[in-house]
Amino acid sequence: MTGMALGKPGGSLVTAGLVAFVVLVLLFLLLRHFVRGQGGWRRFRRRIAQETALTRRAFGEPLRAFRRHRRGVRALARQLSEPRTGLLVRRLLDSAAAALSDAPGAFPYALWLAPETAAVQIAARRLPGPPAPWEDGAGPGAHVWLLALDEQEALPEGAPRPGSRARPLPVAVGMADDACVHLDLAAGPRLVTVEGDPAARLRLLQALAAQLDRSGSGVSVTVTDNVHPHHPGERLDSVLRRLEDTPAPAGDLDRPATTEAVVCAAPTGDQARRLGALAASGSVVVLVDGRAAAHSWALRVDARGRVTAPELCLDADSGPLGRGVAAAIRADRRRTRRMPAAAPRQLPPELPELPDEPSVAASGSDLLSEPATAREQPMAASSNAPGEL
């Protein structure tokens, strides 16, 4: 009995090898035809390198954005938690204002504070030359004075110019590269609208209000209804009647009066007019969620937290601001808990006694608490008229 004939084991391997070789040749010919259509091997390799770099950058951007956010939170928390930094910001603004005493209509309204330098943004028709140790750092469409922080001791003591009715009231609005951007709410119309993405603008409004509500700010904050879901607040009409019936406090330069701050949402045309009149009197600062038909500064924020104000030459990242302010408020609470254990420090007899801490309608931590879902605020039908510098 003869056995069944079997194929040689080497025959199938040779056949598979020949098929693979033919396939590779065909792929090479197709690739060669495609490369010729792209302009040759050199241009093809250059395009492949570009596409690879773009792909690597796209996949690495979330990680870089997270690192930038963390750096911004640390920088803002460090600056806002240190009381001496707040004093430095006010001193720089006061010094720049004193240096502009001979320039009619010129005033500083914003400050970029980096680890080694500071830049003061100035509104002026004709900006005079900066006095030493300031340096001219004017950019396109902006008037800027620069100062190296190691030369701050050479600054003359800034005295308020004659007729000045308010001290600086700076609040941080975000980060620009490695600099913390501070906006002086007392320099402009004192009415600031926050517009743009509903969730992002609510976070920015809360961070600004929480800064005004911090201990030692000299500001009494009132949050009205329809602003925060967890804080019912007083009706805006009632707040307006109370402020309009209250005479303006008579403060002096040595002991400034307490500033009232009103945080509201989407005021009507009549309410916006009354808020503008109170802000123009100099005793009230107004933060509005949404537009307001009044002379104001408008901060526009997108979904990624980028806040811009072209009329102010402002472009910053407000994403890290909320966590930075929260860290500063926690630092305030730690200092408050340590105060009873510390020995009381006597003020020199020539210094005036500090005013009592104003009462506020909501604490800074309450103002920073964010609801689970951000809701769309009703927008006023009238358009905003951003103020000119």
Structure confidence by residue, pLDDT tens digits, 45-85? 777 788 888 877 777 778 888 888 899 999 999 999 998 99
β-partners of residue 143 are 122
pLDDT of residue 232: 82
Distance CA 85, CA 78 (A): 9
Identify the pLDDT of residue 158. 52
Average per-residue pLDDT for the chain: 80
pTM for the whole thing? 0.73
Give the tens place of pLDDT for each residue, 243-257. Answer: 998 876 554 444 446
Model confidence pLDDT, tens digit, residues 144-166:
999 998 888 777 765 555 445 46
Task: Count how many residues are written for the chain.
Answer: 389
**Distance separating alpha carbons of residues 62 and 242, to the nearest angstrom:** 49
Helix (H, G, I), strand (E, B) or coil at 318: coil
- Of the pLDDT bands very low, low, confident and very high (cuts 50, 70, 90), residue 350 is very low
User: What would the mean pLDDT of 190-212 be, rounded to a whole number?
Assistant: 94
Which pLDDT belongs to residue 340? 64
Q: Supply the pLDDT for residue 122.
A: 93
Helix (H) or strand (E) holding 295: strand 295-301
Rg, the chain, Cα only: 30
Angular region, 126: left φ>0, alpha ψ -120 to 50, beta rest: beta
pLDDT band, residue 317 (cuts 50/70/90): very high
What's the mean pLDDT in 359-368?
50
Phi and psi angles of residue 200, each rounded to the nearest 5 degrees, phi first: -65, -40
In this prediction, residue 364 has a pLDDT band, given cuts at 50, 70 and 90, of: low
Q: Are strands 295-301 and 107-113 parallel, antiparallel or unpaired?
A: unpaired
**What is the model's pLDDT at position 141?**
58
Residue 291: DSSP 8-state: -
pLDDT of residue 359: 38
Phi-psi region of 209 (alpha: psi -120 to 50; beta: other; left: phi over 0): alpha
61 CB burial (10 A radius; 0-12, 13-18, 19+): exposed
Q: For residue range 119-135, list pLDDT tens digits in order.
A: 999 998 888 888 888 98
34 vs 30: CA distance, rounded Å: 6
Task: Give the CA distances from residue 342 to residues 79, 177, 338, in Å, rounded to whole numbers and listed in that order.
Answer: 24, 38, 7
Tokens for 249, please give them. 């406090």
Q: Cα angle vertex 64, ends 60, 66, to 5°?
A: 120
121 contacts 144 by C-beta, under 8 angstroms: yes
Greatest Cα pair distance in the chain:
127
Between 228 and 297, name the one with better pLDDT: 297
Specify the range with the lowest mean pLDDT, choosing from 87-91, 228-232, 339-343: 339-343
Once rounded to an integer, what is the mean pLDDT over residues 171-185?
A: 94
Look at the block and give the residue holding tokens 């510098």.
389
Looking at the chain, the whole-number percentage of residues with pLDDT higher than 90 is 42
Residue 341's CB: how many other CB atoms inside 10 A?
6
Of 145 and 232, more confident: 145
Q: What is the reported pLDDT for 166?
A: 65
Interval 131-141: pLDDT, tens: 888 988 865 55
**In this prediction, what percent of the chain has a pLDDT beyond 70?**
78
User: What integer is the mean pLDDT of 228-254?
Assistant: 78
Which amino acid is residue 254, in one-letter code? Answer: D
Cβ neighbors of 247 (< 8 A, separation 6 or more) are: none
Specify whether the CB–CB gap between 325 and 172 falls below 8 A: yes
Whether residue 282 contacts residue 166, with contact meaning beta carbons closer than 8 Å, is answered with yes
